[in-house]
Amino acid sequence: MWIDIILKIYIIHLDYMGIEMKGKLMKKHQNEVINKIIRVILPMSLCAVLMICSSLCIYASNTPAYGGKITRGVSNVTIYLDYNSGMANWENYVVKAADNWVDPGSGMTNPIKITFVSSNSASTMDFYSKSSSFWSSSGSTTVLAETRMFSKGTRIYPSASSTTTWNYAEIYINDTNFRLSSFSNEQALGTVIHEMGHAFGLAHYNTNVNSIMCQTSYGRAVQRVQKCDNDAINAKYN
Ligand SMILES: [Zn+2]
């Protein structure tokens, strides 16, 4: 049907150009036009569709991950909250963040299981509340939170190329900045979910504002685990 429409437009165009064709000559010309559509226009359209698809695929690719991961995996994650440091203030966010990782919704599944424990002797993630001064020596008090990984008590520095695993991670909440009235509850929850993503082994995804692993300073538009983040967890631990 659309070939008919293109033909009609082409014939109108020929009329406009003052070209008149009748009978066999017209039929021959129509066949040439159909040939041209099949040889040139269809492959070009296909190329355009493929280009659009491939750009969408790049956009929807998994969140980048470190080469390493939690030594014990994610099916028995244990979280310790350091109440001595003031974590009772932020407990609610950690509970909600854990819930979001275990069940990100929209039919997403992953192997993550989390329990809260009262000792950090063998826990996977330890949360501490810190004031901004904790970071002032490193020159930044704009930090919202930070995750550090440890292997047998020694801090390790995960990267895409390092496959070193970590026994546990420590997550530091910047109490000073979490208390700012300009810092919303949604941002606070998103920040904790983001840090837990690091502890699981996910890296930043600053080219995708629709990933929980996009940094706030890069305009993250979401505050919950997204498909690209959940897929990265499954790629790492399944
Ligand atoms: Zn981060």
pLDDT in tens, 85-117: 999 999 999 999 999 999 999 999 999 999 999
Question: How confident is the model at residue 51, as a pLDDT?
Answer: 61
- By mean pLDDT, which of 52-66, 67-81, 151-165, 180-194 is the weakest? 52-66
If you measure from the C-alpha of residue 75 to the centroid of ligand 1, how many angstroms do you get, rounded to a whole number?
23
Report the share of the chain in percent with pLDDT over 70. Answer: 76
Whole-number mean pLDDT of the chain? 87
DSSP 36: H
- Check pLDDT > 60 for residue 6: no
- Put the strands of the sheet holding 154-156 in their side by side order: 114-117, 77-81, 125-130, 168-174, 145-151, 154-156
C-alpha of 73 from chain center: 20
Q: How many CB atoms lie within 10 A of CB 99?
A: 13
If you measure from the C-alpha of residue 89 to the centroid of ligand 1, how many angstroms do you get, rounded to a whole number?
21
If you measure from the C-alpha of residue 69 to the centroid of ligand 1, how many angstroms do you get, rounded to a whole number?
16
CB 175 within 8 A of CB 130: yes
Specify the residue for token string 């039929």.
27
If you measure from the C-alpha of residue 125 to the centroid of ligand 1, how many angstroms do you get, rounded to a whole number?
15
- Check pLDDT > 70 for residue 192: yes
CB 206 within 8 A of CB 215: yes
pTM greater than 0.95 (yes/no): no
If one looks up domain 77-237 in CATH, what number appears? 3.40.390.10
Assign 82 a pLDDT band (cuts: 50, 70, 90). very high
Assign 20 a pLDDT band (cuts: 50, 70, 90). very low
Q: Which are the contacts of 57, defined by CB distance < 8 A and separation ≥ 6? A: none
